Structures are given as C-alpha cells and as structure tokens.
C-alpha cells in the first residue's frame, strides 16, 4: 500500500508578518518547508507540495527532483484539493509546512494506524488553557469542559479515496479531519507531539528554535583556591605532577587550579561549592586528586543538565614556572572535563601577599556553562 504526503505550503503567513510566504521562513539551518520535507520523506512514497501562487519555480528549485509541486489555492482546503489531484498513494498524509518540526515518528505512527484499518487519523495533544465560547461584545456565552477537548495537529492521515470524497463538494475547513466528520466519517485520534506545534507568529519560531537546541541559557561562575607550601609534599598542579617542586598542605592533593575550576563550575550552575560537594564530611573524597574532583564535578553538573562552554584558570605564584608545561596542563585539565575548552595562564604578584612571598600557590578560575 503506497503513501503520498501532501504538504500545504501555499499560505501567505499574514500573522507572521515576514513579507514572504511562511513556508519559506528560515528555522535554524533550513526553511520550514525543508524541515517538513525532511521528516516526511523517510515515511512516504510520493510528496506533493502546494506552493504559493508565483513561487512554484522557486520551491521546485529548493526541494529538487522527484517532488511534485502544484499551485496552491485561495484557502488551505483548496490547496489540499489541488495536491489531491496528482496524488497516487492508497493512503495520503496531509501536513502543514507550518508544523515544520513534526517528527518522522509521528508520520510513521499515523501511517501505522491507517494500515491497522483506520480510514482517518489525526494526532492531537491535550488542551492546557480553559476554552470559553464568546457571545457578542466580549461576553462569555459558556465554558467548555477542558477534559473533553483536544488540540489537533498534522500530519493527518486518510484513505485517499475517503479524503477525495470529503473534498468532492469543495467544502472549506481549517483541517481535513473536519471534512471527514462532515460526511459522517470516523476520525481516530492518536498521540501528537509538542514539537509539532504550528508556527504562526515570530514567538512560535522562538519556541521551535528551542526544540532545535538553539535557545540555550548561559551562566558564568568564578572560583579560587590557595594553599601554603608544605614540607616534603609532592606538587600536583593543573592535573600534572611537578617533580622536584615543593607541594602544598591541605585536603586531597592540593591542586589549586583544579579546585578553583570545580568551584567556578559549581558557582555557574548554582550547585554549591567544593566544600558542600566534596567536604570533610564526605570521606570518600579525602584523598581524591584534582583530576578526580574535576571528573566528579563534571558528572554532577551534567546530571543537572549543564554543559561546559569554556573554562579559564589563572595560577598565581612565583613557582613552579607554568609556561614550559602550559599546553600539557591544558590537555590534562581538558581531559579531566571530557574535552572541555580550557585555557590556562599564570602570574606573579610583585612580591606581595602569600604567593608573592613564596609561601604558597593560588588559582582563580571562571567557567561558562549552558543549558538547553
């Protein structure tokens, strides 16, 4: 049994107000029409696009060979009828280009329902707002029972012969399901999806961009750490062992660069700090290396939905000399953060303070994280 997809793309997009047909508006890396095409192509045998009058050639060039392009009508129903005239499939899906992000899975689910014996299938999601009927002059006539209401989406699927019959009288409706209802047909409802929203206004485009991961929230954080040199301790700094250098006193290996980065990441994500996550009341971290703590910190922030954009750390002290091993240190820190973008610098403090007097090492770090 073959399946045709009709993409209704002939609307002018009046409410969007872009001055070009809505189907040709860019959403991320491609137009709404191309998104719709990409999700339907794997599911069907023929695709017919109803193009806005005058845009047939441009759309044919955009979508390439093997796709039928017909001229749309003055109303959506007319546009669908023009496409039905060249439809060859036993089943037909009718889809709005404006529902650019409906998934291939949804198309497959509609087709599966048709193949299991249904003649008309519409995807739908529940209604979140209370819906009232308006009388005249901005007064309410009645309130509908929300539990019995649904928002219907596309692609809607039909036995092609039934949809032709429903369109035969030239009726108009805002979806094809309504035309089937009008001739007494049974319309099956299946689960729709949030991402199949109809893009009507620029605000809807922002929501759609969110589904594509474009609307990330960025947050920054800072962290610092300092330790005094301790006699007979090995030096671990920026994820590296520094042979021949004095180490520092303190909990764990005293890697101030790693600890400052952990704190910056916890600050950026509002997940506490080094002490609250790995403090003395968590004995399992007592001897943890800086690298282990970075790794653990990454797990904690990842579990909270954050990704690292980049991390910077500055080491403050007279020694060791960082410059000779800077790239090695960046690699070690980056590796501990599963390949995150890390930069590292070093400075002295003109002989002043703890580190200038050569009593210890400090580090200050910043982190930028994002969440989709």
Task: Report the partner that residue 22 touches, choosing among Mg ion, ligand CTP, none (CB closer than 5 to 8 A by kind).
Answer: ligand CTP
Nearer residue to Mg ion within complex by CB, 199 or 298: 199
- Distance CA(163)–CA(338), nearest Å, equals 54
Distance set, CA 130 to CA 143, 145, 150, 151, 153 (Å):
8, 8, 11, 12, 19
Q: Compute how many other C-beta atoms are within 10 angstroms of the C-beta atom of residue 343.
A: 14
Q: Which is nearer to ligand CTP, 70 or 180 (CB)?
A: 70
Residues 9-38 that bind Mg ion (CB under 5 A): 11
**Residue 69 binds: one of ligand CTP, Mg ion, none (C-beta under 5 to 8 A by kind):** none
Check residue 73 and give left, alpha or beta (phi > 0: left; psi -120 to 50: alpha): beta
Helix H, strand E, coil C: the string for 64-103 is CCCCEEEECCCCHHHHHHHHHCCCCCCEEEEEECCCCCCC
Residue 198 interaction partner, one of ligand CTP, Mg ion, none, beta carbon < 5-8 Å per kind:
ligand CTP
The residue nearest ligand CTP at its CB is 11
| Distances, alpha carbon 68 to alpha carbons 23, 45, 49, 83, 164, in Å | 16, 12, 6, 9, 18
H or E segment to which residue 31 belongs: strand 30-31
Q: How far is the CB of 193 from ligand CTP (least distance, A)?
A: 17
Query: Residue 119 has what DSSP assignment?
Result: S
Number of helices (H) and strands (E), helices first, in the chain? Answer: 12, 18
- Minimum distance between the CB of residue 40 and ligand CTP, rounded to whole angstroms? 13
Stretch that binds Mg ion, among 5-13, 25-33, 250-258, 346-354 (CB under 5 A): 5-13
Least CB distance to ligand CTP at residue 61 (A): 18
Show the tokens assigned to 119. 């003649």
Give me the least distance between CB of 49 and ligand CTP, in Å please: 9
Distance CA 249, CA 279 (A): 16
Q: Minimum Å distance from CB 314 to ligand CTP?
A: 53
Q: Which is nearer to Mg ion, 130 or 201 (CB)?
A: 201
In the bound state with ligand CTP, the residue whose beta carbon lies nearer, of 10 and 59, is: 10
Contact 355, 348 (CB under 8 A): yes
Q: Which is nearer to ligand CTP, 14 or 29 (CB)?
A: 14
Nearest distance from C-beta of residue 33 to ligand CTP, angstroms: 8
CB 8 within 8 A of CB 87: no
- DSSP 8-class letter at 359: S
Work out what residue 15 binds among Mg ion, ligand CTP, none; the CB cut-off runs from 5 to 8 Å by kind: ligand CTP
In this complex, which beta carbon is closest to ligand CTP, that of residue 96 or of residue 255? 96
The least CB distance from residue 310 to Mg ion, in Å, is 44
Binding site for ligand CTP (CB under 6 A): 8-16, 22-23, 50, 72-76, 79, 96-98, 198, 200
3-state secondary structure of 288: coil
CB of 220 to Mg ion, least distance (A): 43
* Of residues 11 and 155, the one with the C-beta less far from Mg ion: 11
Q: Looking at beta carbons only, is 11 or 360 nearer to Mg ion?
A: 11
User: Closest CB to Mg ion belongs to which residue?
Assistant: 11
Binding positions for Mg ion, rule: CB under 5 A: 11
């Amino acid at each position: 049994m073959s399946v045709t997809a009709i993409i209704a793309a002939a609307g002018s997009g009046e409410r969007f107000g872009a001055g070009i047909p809505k189907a040709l508006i860019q959403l991320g890396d491609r137009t709404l029409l191309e998104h719709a095409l990409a999700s339907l192509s794997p599911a069907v045998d023929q695709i017919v696009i109803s193009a806005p009058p005058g845009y047939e050639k441009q759309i044919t060039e955009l979508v390439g060979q093997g796709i039928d392009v017909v001229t749309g009508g003055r109303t959506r129903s007319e546009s669908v009828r023009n496409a039905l005239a060249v439809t060859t499939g036993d089943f037909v899906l009718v889809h709005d280009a404006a529902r650019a992000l409906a998934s291939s899975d949804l198309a497959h689910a509609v087709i599966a329902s048709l193949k299991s014996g249904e003649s008309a299938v519409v995807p739908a999601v529940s209604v979140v707002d209370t819906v009232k009927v308006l009388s005249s002059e901005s007064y309410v006539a009645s309130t509908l029972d929300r539990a019995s209401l649904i928002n219907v989406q596309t692609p809607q699927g039909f036995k092609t012969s039934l949809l032709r019959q429903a369109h035969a009288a030239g009726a108009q409706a805002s979806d094809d399901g309504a035309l089937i209802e009008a001739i007494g047909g049974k319309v099956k409802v299946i689960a729709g999806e949030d991402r199949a929203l109809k893009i009507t206004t620029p605000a809807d485009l922002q929501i759609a961009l969110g589904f594509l991961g474009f609307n990330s929230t960025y947050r920054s954080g800072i962290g610092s750490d300092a330790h005094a040199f301790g006699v007979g301790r090995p030096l671990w700094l920026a994820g590296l062992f520094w042979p021949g250098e004095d180490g520092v006193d303190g909990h764990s290996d005293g890697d101030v660069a790693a600890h400052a980065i952990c704190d910056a990441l916890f600050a950026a994500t509002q997940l506490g700090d080094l002490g609250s996550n790995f403090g003395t009341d968590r004995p399992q971290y007592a001897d943890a290396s800086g690298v282990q703590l970075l790794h653990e910190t990454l797990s904690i922030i990842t579990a909270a939905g954050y990704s690292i954009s980049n991390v910077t750390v500055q080491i403050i002290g007279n020694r060791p000399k960082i410059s000779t091993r800077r790239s090695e240190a960046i690699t070690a820190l980056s590796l501990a953060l599963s390949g995150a973008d890390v930069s590292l610098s070093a400075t002295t403090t003109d002989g002043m303070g703890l580190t200038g007097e050569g009593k210890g090492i400090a580090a200050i770090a910043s982190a930028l994280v994002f969440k989709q």
